[in-house]
Amino acid sequence: MTETRSTCPYCGVGCGVIIESAGDAITGVRGDPDHPANFGRLCSKGSTLHLTATREVTLQTRLLQPMQRAARGATPQPIGWDAALELAADRFAATIAAHGADAVGFYISGQLLTEDYYVFNKLAKGLVGTNNVDSNSRLCMSSAVAGYKMTLGADAPPCCYDDIAHASTLFIAGSNTAYAHPIVFRRIEDARRANPALKIVVVDPRRTETAASADLHLAIAPGTDVALFNGLLHVMLWEGWTDAAYIAAHTSGFDALKARVRDFAPKDVARLCGIDEADLVQAARWFANIDATQPAGRAPTLSMYCQGLNQSTSGSLKNAALINLHLATAQIGRPGAGPFSLTGQPNAMGGREVGAMANLLSGHRDLADARDRDEVARLWGVVDVPSTPGLSAVEMFEAAADGALHALWIACTNPAQSMPDQATVRRALERCEFVVVQEAFATTATCGYADLLLPATTWGEKSGTVTNSERRISRVRAAVAAPGAARDDWAIAADFARRLEARLRASGGSRAVVERSLFEHASAEAIWNEHRETTRGRDLDIGGLDYARLEREPAQWPWPAGAGAGRSRLYADGIYPTADGRARFVDAAYEPPAERRDARFPFVLNTGRLRDQWHGMSRTGTVARLFGHVPEPAVEMNPSDMQRLRLADGDLVTVTSRRGAITLAAQASVAQAPAQAFIAMHWGDEFLSGAAGGPAETRAPGGAADARPGRAAGVNALTQPAFCARSKQPELKHAAVRIARADLP
């Protein structure tokens, strides 16, 4: 048996795993006791990883060779790698020649490794000359990015997991940590055992497992987070719980915010948020944590937050308003204190670091900054990086639906399930003239729309790096050979790029200012080293983190060349990466969600994760035991709503929004407040078609790659595409719907 140290491919906790293999078979997995993210622990998903990589599952779910679909709706036929990539290069070159560089787009994924991400970003912005490269991290973390940049000056989470053990108050907002980040939740449970005086406040419209464990659950009305945070600051100011010295020495913009929160009197905020005024004051007291026995005059408060803040039309302001509280109370820069965004995907952070989104650039540079663009162009050896902002995720599919985007390359993500407003997304995929899907799994709904399917390696088969929520970079290592003709994502992208580069040079359309190819990389390590060069002198400088160093242990950035260690916490000195070194208060106005409830659509629909499933179930859906927790999709409603609609558990209902309708079982749940409903994000078309998503033995042979595109059946048939103006993250957690028994007209 061989043992290979690697990283779990699911959530942003970034747990270390030890893969056990024999020959080309993965036979087991266990937690890595030496990995500082998890110290040997794994959750239900991580501990069943080996069951997702058996020979039977591979044969039933994996894309094993390149396939071409001669016409939409036709069954895809095998094609060799060389012919497939020549075809792709021809089609992309022709599209660029006919319609310009912005007529093509790349939609990639927080599941990719940093090295994969780097090549796609350079391919789009450097070689092609379009900023139309965005990631499904747009659905996940872009509001956190904007929140950090607006307030602290850089997209750098200042905290680490060890802070959980140091905190006196944990303020958890918009995060069902128990389900979405289970190993972080175990640390919270440990902290509570070690310190019975620990206070836990949870802000969530739902009474989740995390909320049920809290000392104080603020079950706010959906979307009212900014009002709550401003109300907390109002109380802190009134009570004298802010830190005037810190505000004066290390921040700017407080006067405008102070004027703003004057309007957020506790009584008004409590009414708007639907909570008790006394609970609001208690939360403010525990957050401020005044304690004369502590060296800083107050005990530390750590906030942790996730999609409940991010997936919102005011997601950036929700993030900023929470960070305002930390700055106003000096709850930052010391053990146990600070704003700590939890990342959803395993490598959303890595994508942010290489700048592989439509508005970002390598090494935390900004696309809007001419000097930043010039630096990246020089590093890459291209004439320039275009200044026109690229299309974000929602905009990219809307452009394709409108006929403005002619060729689309999708890698390692399933927009035909995960994007909001599926009717538009599917219209886009049908209208787009050339769709490439680079995927490990043949079972995703998106595969059904591909003109060209390119098989990629996945967990256990590929090598590179990922960064977790606490800025810790871990190695991902291959334990077994790739199945069939599957290739690494970076290698597919680089091979395609070289072929496209040759065509652009031949036609005089090359943007390179160097003779050599822009994509000479022979290995993931070579890409990593080029990425490191782009970070030198930046806030995330990883000049000192070569693969040899990372072989020894996972490491947190920054880690410049010559440094002996990374930094577990940032901003201890109160100096921020802004022009004047001061953090910026953001004058956060409260904005209600984009879509209101009304007489026709009287429920607010929320979406989210379950404990034992991951995203669209390409991987977890192959493990029968993971359906033991929740076996099938359901819409959860308060028992009073069930009674009013004369529904019993299991009755089929149709849930309808302004964009679509789906039918599924109803389920009573006291976690839901009246007039609120919840549907898990994991199930897609398959729960109607049986093409994918259940245990492997229930799947149709060939999965969705063989399926004809159809009407969306997952929850994103209902969700809306409205997005935050600053972060462009869509409001996946708030749509107005009506619910009626399915057998009634």
**13 touching ligand SF4, by CB under 6 A:** yes
User: What would the two tokens of residue 280 be?
Assistant: 């609001």
Residue 323 has φ and ψ, to the nearest 5°, of: -65, -35
**15 touching ligand SF4, by CB under 6 A:** yes
Give me the least distance between CB of 458 and ligand SF4, in Å please.
Answer: 14
Number of residues located near ligand SF4, criterion CB under 6 A: 14
Taking the least distance from each CB to ligand SF4, the nearer of 225 and 612 is: 612
362-368 contacts at long range (C-beta below 8 A, 24 or more positions apart): 362/118, 362/121, 362/531, 362/534, 362/535, 363/534, 363/535, 363/536, 363/538, 363/540, 364/154, 364/155, 364/156, 364/535, 364/538, 364/539, 364/540, 365/538, 367/131
Stretch touching ligand SF4 by CB under 6 A, among 8-16, 202-210, 385-393, 588-596: 8-16
Q: Which of residues 138-197 bind ligand SF4 (CB under 6 A)?
A: 181-183
Stretch touching ligand SF4 by CB under 6 A, among 7-15, 216-224, 238-246, 324-332: 7-15
Cβ neighbour number for residue 745 with a 10 Å cutoff: 4
Select the residue interacting with ligand SF4 from 5, 6, 10, 733 (CB under 6 A): 10
Taking the least distance from each CB to ligand SF4, the nearer of 37 and 480 is: 37
Give me the least distance between CB of 177 and ligand SF4, in Å please.
Answer: 10
Taking the least distance from each CB to ligand SF4, the nearer of 477 and 505 is: 477
Taking the least distance from each CB to ligand SF4, the nearer of 11 and 666 is: 11
User: What would the two tokens of residue 473 be?
Assistant: 């970079």
Residue 268 has φ and ψ, to the nearest 5°, of: -70, -40
Stretch 713-732: interaction string toward ligand SF4, x if CB under 6 A: --------------------
Taking the least distance from each CB to ligand SF4, the nearer of 16 and 266 is: 16
| Bridge partners for 475 per DSSP | 465
Stretch touching ligand SF4 by CB under 6 A, among 11-19, 317-325, 469-477, 536-544: 11-19
Taking the least distance from each CB to ligand SF4, the nearer of 43 and 405 is: 43
Output DSSP code: residue 363.
G
- How many helices, marked H, and strands, marked E, lie in the chain? 25, 28
Select the residue interacting with ligand SF4 from 5, 6, 8, 311 (CB under 6 A): 8
Give me the least distance between CB of 373 and ligand SF4, in Å please.
Answer: 35
Residues 6/19, Cβ–Cβ less than 8 Å: yes
Taking the least distance from each CB to ligand SF4, the nearer of 49 and 146 is: 49
Taking the least distance from each CB to ligand SF4, the nearer of 14 and 66 is: 14
Q: Which of residues 567-596 bind ligand SF4 (CB under 6 A)?
A: none
Residue 253 has φ and ψ, to the nearest 5°, of: 85, 15
Which helix (H) or strand (E) element contains residue 49?
A: none
Taking the least distance from each CB to ligand SF4, the nearer of 68 and 137 is: 137
Cβ neighbour number for residue 631 with a 10 Å cutoff: 10
Angle, to 10 degrees, between the axis of helix 225-239 and the axis of helix 266-273?
160
Closest CA to 655 of 734, 732, 715, 720: 715
Taking the least distance from each CB to ligand SF4, the nearer of 183 and 321 is: 183
Taking the least distance from each CB to ligand SF4, the nearer of 10 and 229 is: 10
Give me the least distance between CB of 50 and ligand SF4, in Å please.
Answer: 13
Stretch touching ligand SF4 by CB under 6 A, among 4-12, 138-146, 233-241, 711-719: 4-12
Q: In sequence order, what are the residues at sequence separation of 6 or more whose Cβ sits closer than 8 angstroms to the Cβ of residue 156?
A: 148, 364, 471, 539, 540, 570, 577
Give me the least distance between CB of 463 and ligand SF4, in Å please.
Answer: 18
Q: Which of residues 634-663 bind ligand SF4 (CB under 6 A)?
A: none
Q: Is the dihedral of CA 88, 89, 90, 93 positive or negative?
A: positive
- The residue written with tokens 């930390």 in the block is 326
Give me the least distance between CB of 614 and ligand SF4, in Å please.
Answer: 7
Give me the least distance between CB of 470 and ligand SF4, in Å please.
Answer: 12
Q: Which of residues 23-82 bind ligand SF4 (CB under 6 A)?
A: 38, 42-43, 45-46
Give me the least distance between CB of 536 and ligand SF4, in Å please.
Answer: 30
Residues 607/715, Cβ–Cβ less than 8 Å: yes
Residue 384 has φ and ψ, to the nearest 5°, of: -170, 170
Taking the least distance from each CB to ligand SF4, the nearer of 46 and 464 is: 46
Give me the least distance between CB of 475 and ligand SF4, in Å please.
Answer: 15
Give me the least distance between CB of 183 and ligand SF4, in Å please.
Answer: 4
Report how far apart, in Å, the C-alpha atoms of 288 and of each of 199, 266, 332 are.
12, 16, 12
Strands 661-668 and 472-476: unpaired
Closest CA to 652 of 667, 637, 630, 638: 667
Give me the least distance between CB of 174 and ligand SF4, in Å please.
Answer: 18
Distance CA 668, CA 680 (A): 14
Strands 676-680 and 603-608: parallel
HSE on the CB side for 512, CA within 13 Å? Answer: 21
Taking the least distance from each CB to ligand SF4, the nearer of 8 and 232 is: 8
Give me the least distance between CB of 17 and ligand SF4, in Å please.
Answer: 7
Taking the least distance from each CB to ligand SF4, the nearer of 181 and 426 is: 181
Give me the least distance between CB of 453 and ligand SF4, in Å please.
Answer: 27
Taking the least distance from each CB to ligand SF4, the nearer of 14 and 300 is: 14
Closest CB to ligand SF4: residue number:
46
Output DSSP code: residue 265.
-
Give me the least distance between CB of 14 and ligand SF4, in Å please.
Answer: 6
Q: Where are the alpha helices (DSSP H) in 437-523?
A: 489-506
Q: Where are the alpha helices (DSSP H) in 462-546?
A: 489-506, 524-535
Residue 237 has φ and ψ, to the nearest 5°, of: -65, -45
- The residue written with tokens 């009506």 in the block is 738
Select the residue interacting with ligand SF4 from 6, 11, 135, 618 (CB under 6 A): 11
User: What would the two tokens of residue 565 be?
Assistant: 């260690």
Residue 271 has φ and ψ, to the nearest 5°, of: -70, -45
Taking the least distance from each CB to ligand SF4, the nearer of 610 and 662 is: 610
Stretch 314-353: interaction string toward ligand SF4, x if CB under 6 A: ----------------------------------------
Q: Which of residues 491-520 bind ligand SF4 (CB under 6 A)?
A: none
User: What would the two tokens of residue 366 be?
Assistant: 């900004």
Give me the least distance between CB of 361 and ligand SF4, in Å please.
Answer: 28
Give me the least distance between CB of 619 and ligand SF4, in Å please.
Answer: 11
- Residues present in the chain in total: 745
Distance CA 257, CA 77 (A): 60
Taking the least distance from each CB to ligand SF4, the nearer of 87 and 183 is: 183
Q: In sequence order, what are the residues at sequence separation of 6 or more whose Cβ sits closer than 8 angstroms to the Cβ of residue 586?
A: 150, 151, 253, 257, 317, 320, 321, 323, 324
**712 touching ligand SF4, by CB under 6 A:** no
Give me the least distance between CB of 450 and ligand SF4, in Å please.
Answer: 28
User: What would the two tokens of residue 492 be?
Assistant: 């597919």
Q: Which residues lie near ligand SF4 (CB under 6 A)? A: 8, 10-11, 13-15, 38, 42-43, 45-46, 181-183
